[in-house]
Structure 1
Amino acid sequence: MTATVQAAGTVRPASTVRRRIRPVRIILGLLGIVVALVWAFPVYWMLNSALLPNVVLQSSTPTWLPFGGSFDNFAAVFAGGTFLPALGMSTAIAGITVVFCLFFAFLGALAISRFRFRGRTGFVLAVLLIQMLPAEGLFIAQYKLMGSLNLLNSIVGVSVIYIAAVVPFTIWMLRGFVAGVPADLEEAAMIDGLSRTQAFLRITFPLLAPGLVASGVYAFLQAWNEFTVALVLLQDNSSQTLPLWLRGFIQASASRATDWGQVMAASTLVAIPVIIFFLIVQGRMTSGLVSGAVKG
């Protein structure tokens, strides 16, 4: 007969233990479901409102299900002709930011994790101190710098500022991943006949891929959702990122009484690329976050 032996030496049937543990698991499972529903409800309500006409949304009785809804709000957003240019602007800026941010941050993380050099401590402290600078205090300097370089209202100008803002924290993130891969692996591969470069590319780099994905997600979100820097540097209506476009869309709607159906449709369109991006990288991002927590 299966039994459970306690520390005091008494014997208690395993079925009794299971009966005591099972209600706790059920309660925790129900609590997890409730929390998940609370988190998911704003997203559902945004999508639900996007499918309903403004007359229904203005009713005092909420409509919980979009029965009888349509895609007219989405059609109205596309009919304006400004969404796709803003989408292209945001995609280009986010892509450039992610690529160059990962490149520079990866080199910086390798330097401070694998090498001992003069000024290493000062470099690490500088990376941390840069994060403490308020972004608002740099707006004037950034505007004058980009203006002197004729990079206002351009993808390159905004991308440079984003890269400079995101690289320090990304270096700090990648440092934990690089430190978590033992240098002995490369040395063993070099003993087997590989060069240092070959050992790094074949052994170390694949192990760092989850960390690069996790850091890339952070850089992507910072560039995709950033509003204030874009508001300062992109003042031309023809050069707007999606956050600026959404603000302008809401302001234009407010001038004729806010059409919340169209606003919610526009918000949904802004969120869709982020959801697709997460679905693509979510597997490696999860493993990267876990592995980065092992050693820092």
Structure 2
Amino acid sequence: MNARTRRTGGRVLLNAAAIVVFVCSVFPVYWMVNTAFLPGSAVKTDTPHLWPDEFTLRSFEAAWNDGGFLPALGVSLAVTVLTVVTALLFAFLASIAVSRYRFRSRKTFIIAILVIQMIPAEAMIISTFRVLDGWQLLNTIVGLSAVYIAMVLPFTIWTLRGFVNGVPADLEEAAMIDGCSRNQAFWRVTFPLLAPGLVSTGIFAFIQAWNEFVFALVIMTRPETQTLPIWLRSFVQATKATDWAVVMAGSTLMAIPVIVFFLIVQGRMTSGLMSGAVKG
């Protein structure tokens, strides 16, 4: 077997493995959407429906007309946007400071970021609840956003640090030699190169804040302040059978904003991931 044949065989195996991974990743999403378009009676049968052969929109109507979807959507959007914008702002400044400047306790700060990421967030639920209760921030968008910012900030700082390290400081120095001030060199040269990293990091923060359940369940106890994951939980009740078609329809509605956001920024995210993988 010559080298060309081996390369061709290896390429075929890699493509087959990629297809298997793709199918395993996409199938749960397809099954969710497929179930959402089926009536509840078809979902409960022993015969699986691989496609919506009994197509109906009743589950989407039930989820939409529930009365809690739009308020929960507004709360989730407000919390997520506030979390992403604030976390990116502080993480951007922190990553610049850690990567571009040498100061006392710099290594300690970097190690602290890693250690904080290792602590399970659920271990701090009680203390977080008591702090927010003392500050009168329970059942508020600001209170939940503050918790989410604290959760996503260590990962965001660490990720952005890799992107900043991947942009040589010599570029800024060359721009300053050409007549730019330090601020002009940063905003005209460095920042455009960091923009894909901000986008790719922001989308991870967006997904984490959008899908978070435990802290939202503990902090947002009033029905009018619940987020979408808590609203979705309302369809699962112990006193009656769960209508899984409605649950899947609600899950599909909940996934639409994430998909739209991803489609908008996917180009920037891809280039950001590739540039961040070059040097960390």
TM-score (normalizing by structure 1): 0.90
Offset at residue 232 of structure 1 (A): 1.3
Match of 1:256 among 224, 240, 246: 240
Partner of 1:218: 204
Offset at residue 255 of structure 1 (A): 3.1
Offset at residue 24 of structure 1 (A): 4.3
User: Where does 1:100-139 land on structure 2 (aligned, <5 Å)?
Assistant: 100-139=86-125
CA distance in structure 1 between the aligned counterparts of 2:273 and 2:245, rounded to whole angstroms: 37
Partner of 2:274: 290
CA distance in structure 2 between the aligned counterparts of 1:123 and 1:31, rounded to whole angstroms: 40
Letter in 1 for 2:201: S
> In structure 2, do the counterparts of structure 1 residues 242 and 204 end up closer, same or farther at CA, with 3 Å as the change threshold?
same
Of the structure 1 ranges 27-36 and 103-112, higher mean CA displacement relative to structure 2 is found in 27-36
> In structure 2, do the counterparts of structure 1 residues 21 and 145 end up closer, same or farther at CA, with 3 Å as the change threshold?
closer
Of the structure 1 ranges 135-144 and 159-168, higher mean CA displacement relative to structure 2 is found in 135-144
User: Where does 1:76-95 land on structure 2 (aligned, <5 Å)?
Assistant: 76-95=62-81
CA distance in structure 1 between the aligned counterparts of 2:80 and 2:50, rounded to whole angstroms: 35
Match of 2:41 among 49, 55, 58: 55
CA distance in structure 1 between the aligned counterparts of 2:68 and 2:200, rounded to whole angstroms: 31
Offset at residue 25 of structure 1 (A): 3.3
CA distance in structure 1 between the aligned counterparts of 2:174 and 2:260, rounded to whole angstroms: 40
Letter in 2 for 1:125: I
Letter in 2 for 1:293: A
Partner of 1:274: 258
Match of 2:53 among 59, 67, 71: 67
Deviations 1:192-217 (A, max 9, x none): 11111111000000000111111101
Q: What is the percentage of aligned positions where both structures have the same residue?
A: 58
Partner of 1:8: none
CA-based RMSD of the aligned residues comes to 1.7
Partner of 1:176: 162
Partner of 2:189: 203
Offset at residue 225 of structure 1 (A): 1.0
Letter in 1 for 2:130: K
CA distance in structure 2 between the aligned counterparts of 1:179 and 1:220, rounded to whole angstroms: 23
Q: How many pairs does the alignment contain?
A: 280
Partner of 2:139: 153
Give SS of 1:257's match: coil
Partner of 1:188: 174
Partner of 1:265: 249
CA distance in structure 2 between the aligned counterparts of 1:114 and 1:47, rounded to whole angstroms: 47
Of the structure 1 ranges 87-96 and 123-132, higher mean CA displacement relative to structure 2 is found in 123-132
CA distance in structure 1 between the aligned counterparts of 2:113 and 2:239, rounded to whole angstroms: 45
Give SS of 1:190's match: helix
Structure 1 unmatched runs, 5+: 1-11
CA distance in structure 1 between the aligned counterparts of 2:5 and 2:165, rounded to whole angstroms: 45
Partner of 2:228: 242
Give SS of 2:124's match: helix
CA distance in structure 2 between the aligned counterparts of 1:281 and 1:155, rounded to whole angstroms: 25
Letter in 1 for 2:260: I
Give SS of 1:181's match: coil
Of the structure 1 ranges 150-159 and 119-128, higher mean CA displacement relative to structure 2 is found in 119-128
Structure 2 unmatched runs, 5+: none
Offset at residue 158 of structure 1 (A): 0.4
CA distance in structure 1 between the aligned counterparts of 2:85 and 2:250, rounded to whole angstroms: 27
Offset at residue 241 of structure 1 (A): 0.7
Deviations 1:96-136 (A, max 9, x none): 00000000000000001000112212222222222222222
Partner of 2:30: 44
